[in-house]
Amino acid sequence: MKRPMLWIAVPYIFGIVVADSWEYSVCPVLFSIFVLAAIGFFVQKARLVALGVLLFAFGFANQSFQLRFIPETDLRNFVAEDPQIVSLAGRLETSPEYRVSKIAATERWRSTVELDVSEIEIDDATQNVIGKVLVSASRRLAGSYYAGQGVRVTGVLSRPLIEHAEGMFPYREYLSRLNVHFQLRTKSARDWRMLDEADPPSMPYSLRFQRWAREALAKSLGKEDDSVRLL
């Protein structure tokens, strides 16, 4: 058989696509599919079709579980829809990325980083939770922040914005694909605190190289310009 993995991947992917847009109960669908697959295996000529149906069922079930199952300790169960001031503790899932824009000859920085949350504090009440949050800061985060560090961050927690008109980029849906359902906006350096400053984790080698490369390129220019930032 030519390209055997293709025949395995296509039904599974098709199951994921169907589950992604399925708005009804998934239990009757899964039950019917597994019954058809079981019947097909007893008919020798239909076994290949039955295998494809079974792979479709696995793809459908996996995607349905990812989209619909929310654990009890999930962050979504503890946060209201309206924006609110909270304090989050956890580890940085990524190293900070930053953008700079010029408004009236003034540079304005914005940094973003994903935080793997383990604890939330709302109105002096603390809960252990799980979930990821996209944290933003209206400044360039210091070079001491990188993936793997434990931090506590205070700011305004809210749902990502939805598109205001048809055809606009669905930012909330895009973040949900990354399992990120909330954004936290911070204002100043006082909103950030390291939890393992005494014994920090080692910096990733990829980040060390990136910082060294930017510094090396900026030396010949005298400063860090837009080209170096782009790199």
Same domain, 167 and 224: no
Together in a domain, 57 and 16: yes
What is the spatial distance between Cα 86 and Cα 124, in angstroms, rounded to a whole number? 9
The number of distinct structural domains making up the chain is: 3
Residues 93 and 132 in one domain: yes
146 and 222 co-located in one domain: no
Whole-number pLDDT of residue 221: 63
- Please tell me whether residues 26 and 100 are part of one structural domain: no
According to the model, what pLDDT value does residue 119 have?
Answer: 94
**Cβ contacts of residue 39 below 8 Å, gap of 6+?**
50
Q: How does pLDDT run across 62-84, given as a tens digit for each residue?
A: 888 877 788 889 998 888 888 99
Both 214 and 196 in one domain: the answer is no
Q: Quote the Cα angle for 115-22-65, to 5°.
A: 45
| Rounded Cα gap, residues 51 and 175, in angstroms | 34
What pLDDT, on a 0 to 100 scale, did the predictor assign at position 135?
Answer: 94
pLDDT of residue 110: 84
Check pLDDT > 60 for residue 1: no
Residue 5: left (phi > 0), alpha (psi -120 to 50), or beta? alpha
**Is a pLDDT exceeding 60 seen at residue 53?**
yes
Q: What is the mean pLDDT of residues 16-33?
A: 81
- Looking at residue 114, its pLDDT comes to 93
Q: Does 161 share its domain with 217?
A: no
**Same domain flag for 107 and 136:** yes
Mean pLDDT value across the chain: 82
**Whether residues 128 and 36 fall in one domain:** no
Rounded mean pLDDT, 198-219: 79
At 158 the pLDDT is 92
Query: Where among 26, 44, 68 does a domain terminate?
Result: 68
Proportion of the chain above pLDDT 70, given as a percent: 90
- The token pair at 144 is 């001491």
Same domain, 182 and 88: yes
Categorize the per-residue pLDDT at 206 as very low, low, confident or very high, splitting at 50, 70 and 90. confident
The two structure tokens encoding residue 99: 């953008």
The span from the CA of 76 to the CA of 123, in Å, is 17
CATH number of the domain enclosing 184:
2.40.50.140
Phi and psi torsions of 37, nearest 5° = -65, -40
**Nearest one of 131, 144, 133 to 189, comparing CA atoms:** 144
pLDDT 10s digits, 144-192: 788 889 999 999 999 988 877 777 888 888 888 888 999 999 988 889 9
| Beta pairing, strands 84-92 & 106-122 | antiparallel
3-state secondary structure labels for all residues of 86-131: EEEEEEECCCCEEEEEEECCEEEEEEEEEEEEEEEEECCEEEEEEE
* SS3 labels along the chain: CCCHHHHHHHHHHHHHHHHHHCCCCCHHHHHHHHHHHHHHHHCHHHHHHHHHHHHHHHHHHHHHHHHHCCCCCEHHHCCCCCCEEEEEEEEECCCCEEEEEEECCEEEEEEEEEEEEEEEEECCEEEEEEEEEEEEECCCCCCCCCCCCEEEEEEEEECCCCCCCCCCCCHHHHHHHCCEEEEEEECCHHHEEECCCCCCCCCCHHHHHHHHHHHHHHHHHCCCCHHHHHC
Q: Which of residues 34, 68, 102 is at a domain's end?
A: 68
Residues 113 and 190 both lie in one domain: yes
Task: Dump pLDDT digits (tens) for 91-120.
Answer: 999 888 887 776 766 777 788 999 999 999
Which residue type occupies 153?
V
**pLDDT for position 155:** 93
Domain carrying residue 131: 75-200
Q: pLDDT tens digit string along 179-198?
A: 899 999 998 888 999 988 77
Whether residue 190 sits in one domain with residue 102 = yes
